[in-house]
């Protein structure tokens, strides 16, 4: 129903990668469950900060809202990312 990945950027910093929820599973809590699983996995691995990059187009608004409901706030680009008007960068402490 959902897929997501956690990438370690450093000993204490991780990135939420490629999180997707099947269309039929949207608005049923599946995305929330996946995000909570990634946050728990990060915490279990000693990661204290999680960041992510997502699109800035209207299609991505529900995803951005989901992340913000779970404590993510906008931030500057991180890792190898560059400032890009097509991207939104978000981060939170774990």
Backbone angles phi, psi at 74, to 5 degrees: -65, 145
pLDDT single digits (tens) 40-84: 999 999 999 999 999 999 999 999 999 999 999 999 999 999 999
Report d(CA 17, CA 21) in Å as an integer: 13
CB 19 within 8 A of CB 37: no
Whole-number pLDDT of residue 5: 96
Q: How confident is the model at residue 18 (pLDDT cuts 50, 70, 90)?
A: confident
Architecture per CATH, domain 2-93, reads as 3-Layer(aba) Sandwich (3.40)
Residue 23 has pLDDT above 80, yes or no: no
Report d(CA 84, CA 69) in Å as an integer: 23
């Amino acid at each position: 129903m959902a897929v997501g990945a956690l990438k370690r950027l450093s000993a204490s910093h991780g990135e939420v990668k490629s999180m997707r929820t099947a269309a039929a599973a949207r608005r049923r809590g599946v995305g929330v469950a996946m995000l909570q699983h990634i946050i728990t996995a990060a915490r279990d691995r000693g990661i204290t900060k999680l960041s992510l990059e997502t699109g800035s187009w209207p299609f991505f608004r529900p995803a951005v809202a989901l992340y913000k409901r779970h404590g993510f706030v906008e931030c500057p680009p991180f890792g190898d990312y560059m400032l890009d008007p097509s991207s939104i960068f978000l981060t939170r402490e774990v």
